[in-house]
Structure 1
Amino acid sequence: MAEIRSANPDLATYLENADVSLWSRVYCQGDRYNIKTSNIAESINSALKRARGFPVQFLLEFIREKLGKWFWKRREDALSLPTQHSRGVEYLLAVRSEIADTMTVQPIDGWRFFVKGGKMDCVVDLEHGKCDCGVYAVEKIPCSHAIAAGTSAGLHISTLVCPVYSKDFLFAGYSENIYPCVGQQVEEHTCFPLDVKRGPRRQKKSRWQSWLELSRMRGRKPRKQHRVNRCSKCKETGHTKPQCKSSSD
């Protein structure tokens, strides 16, 4: 925060007034598990973009079919996992284990260890799942320091990972079935349109993307390429023939 305040004091004041726990993952009271955005409605709107112009009945059927496919596919993926945790977690553990092999560990007591190596030297508390680097407490996945300390204590790496990343938890999240509405009687009601005046032109289905989003998709190019004017008389750029100040022949 001191770096932000030194660069932009107004921005630092705004972030502090907005409550640090709402935008900083370290100070968040809950567990966010590496989710890129907390606006789940935006993600759902993007998935349902193709069907938003359908009548309500077809839109609901599209949502049911989409969710049914998601649940079935993720349930099958969870059952087919050959490891105890998800693929992303296993990849992180493999990478961090290689870094942990280069570290030295000094025991403090049965649960606490002083680990030297990496970007900083840290004290690891395996009993409470904490490390001075802060990664272990936030991600609930052991960092390189925690892996080195756990290996020194004779613990298996899988015992240091929070159970929410396990294959069983992943399967339980998609264990429910989504059934089609077959044979169910729907009571008929007359629905009147909303008393809202619709604007002209075709309705927009997607939001305007920011310059940063567009630049990432286009290889970091600006959203709009400005035309370079060239004078037809002196062949210089930045002006046209009526504004040319060169002497006439």
Structure 2
Amino acid sequence: MWFLSELHNLLEINAENMPRLSILSDRQKSIVDGVDANFPTAFHGFCMHHLSDSFAKEFNNTMLVNLLWEASHALTVIEFEAKILEIEDISQEAAYWIRSIPPRLWATAYFEGNRFGQLTANVVESLNSWILEASGLPIVQMMEYIRRQLMTWFNERRELSMQWNTVLVPSAERHVSDAIERARNFQVLRANEAEFEVISHEGTHIVDIRIRSCFCRGWQLHGLPCAHAVAALLYCGQNNVHRFTESFFTVATYRKTYSQTIHPVPDKSLWNELPQESQDGVSNALEIVLNPPKSLRLTGRPRKKRVRAEDNGRSKRVVHCSLCNQTGHFRTTCSAPQ
């Protein structure tokens, strides 16, 4: 709650209008409460990595997990429902488990915000993986560890981006190049200056280049023109399809992201101490106000297992004993005479 309230204050100060954010997390209960309190208009979705892990623990079946991921990537409701039916054909219980979680929280076809193809919080997991080494250090050493790592990353990414001579970052450039290659085999029919009917082996799709939309929904949801959109753009002479991508996929935006320098810090022995109070009792030091998180002192060992939102409100699976046919236990723990 404290962290998200500080983030809210920071964004509100530095933006004329608070953007309507899309937030991805493992939806641990305290995060859900914090988002609801500080970003009530935000679209808060599940990280698919955490959701699929929970699903895999419940149903140890690789095929089911793969179908879950395919359902999450589906761009249309029809494609999504088709994947859920495939899961249901294998396991009705697994399908019931998935349907108990509102698809607007995790499925691309139903998610109401803009994720641009991002379904996981893997960037956070990668940060956590190296920060664990610093987490046990005293606070100053921990902050220095983090600062040095970020200083190095910012510099490496600035230098890397200077080697790029394309309009888009490499991943987006590959997406567009692949779309151009696929579009060569499509048939395009023009309805007016903006609307096109694009025919391929996948079927027929309607493209409107004026509002940057395609019936496959790839252009709208990913921010990059799909192959159907590219076919329409090339047909009407718009050969520079890069202009029809979202600006944050450009190399210029990437370079701007890492343009600021995280400066080196001298050894602690060289740090200046705050000036002491003068003889008249007046301090010359700047007043520093620290606002630590408000918390309650809890007794006992803190809980290690986090309560995730997907577990809240879900009815527990009823187990049956094959020996006495009663519920609530298995044959191995049954007390009935055998």
- Could you state the TM-score of these two structures normalised by the residue count of structure 2? 0.51
Equivalent in the alignment of 1:173:
257
What RMSD in Å do the two structures reach over aligned CA positions? 2.9
Counterpart position of 1:226: none
Amino acid in the other structure paired with 2:219? Y
Structure 1 residue 171: Cα displacement: 1.4
CA contact (8 A) 2:117 2:221 kept: no
Deviation at 1:10, TM superposition (A): 4.9
Q: AA paired with 1:153? A: C
1:52 is aligned to 2:132: no
- The 8 Å contact of residues 115 and 123 in structure 1, kept in 2 or not, is answered as yes
Report the CA distance between 1:125 and its aligned residue.
Answer: 1.2
Could you tell me how far 1:195 is from its partner in structure 2? 8.6
CA distance, structure 2, for counterparts of residue 151 and residue 184 of structure 1? 62
1:86 corresponds in structure 2 to 169
Decide which of 217, 225, 234 is 1:142's aligned counterpart: 225
The 1-side partners of 2:300 and 2:92 are apart by 44
Identity fraction in percent? 25
For residues 169 and 160 of structure 1, what CA distance do their matches in structure 2 show?
15
Evaluate the alpha carbon distance shift between residue 198 and residue 13 of structure 1 in structure 2; reply closer, same or farther with a 3 A threshold.
closer
Structure (1 or 2) with the larger CA radius of gyration: 1
1:29-68 matches, cutoff 5 A: 29-38=112-121, 40-68=123-151
Matches within 5 A, 1:198-217: none
Structure 2 portions without partners, runs of 5+: 1-80, 275-287, 289-296, 303-338
Structure 1 distance, partners of 2:272, 2:101, is 48
What is the DSSP-based 3-state SS (H/G/I as helix, E as strand, rest coil) of the residue aligned with 1:48?
helix
How many residue pairs get matched? 194
Separation of aligned partners in 1, 2:117 and 2:166:
20
CA shift at 1:13, angstroms? 4.8
Q: Is the 8 A contact 1:99 1:118 kept in 2?
A: no
Match of 1:96 in 2: 179
**Aligned residue in 1 for 2:328:** none
Write 1 or 2 for the structure with the bigger share of helix.
2
Give deviations 1:54-93, integer Å, cap 9, x for gaps.
3332221110011111111112222331011101111121
Shift of 1:153: 1.1
Q: Is the 8 A contact 1:113 1:124 kept in 2?
A: yes
Partner of 1:159: 243
- Aligned-residue offset at 1:198: 7.8
* Unmatched runs of 5 consecutive residues or more in structure 1: 188-193, 200-249
TM-score normalized by the length of structure 1: 0.67
State the SS of the aligned residue for 2:203. coil
Q: Distance in 2 between matches of 1:72 and 1:196?
A: 45
Task: Check 1:80–1:47 CA distance in 2 against 1; reply closer, same or farther (3 A cut).
Answer: same
Aligned to 1:208: none
Given residue 4 of structure 1, which amino acid in structure 2 is its aligned partner?
I
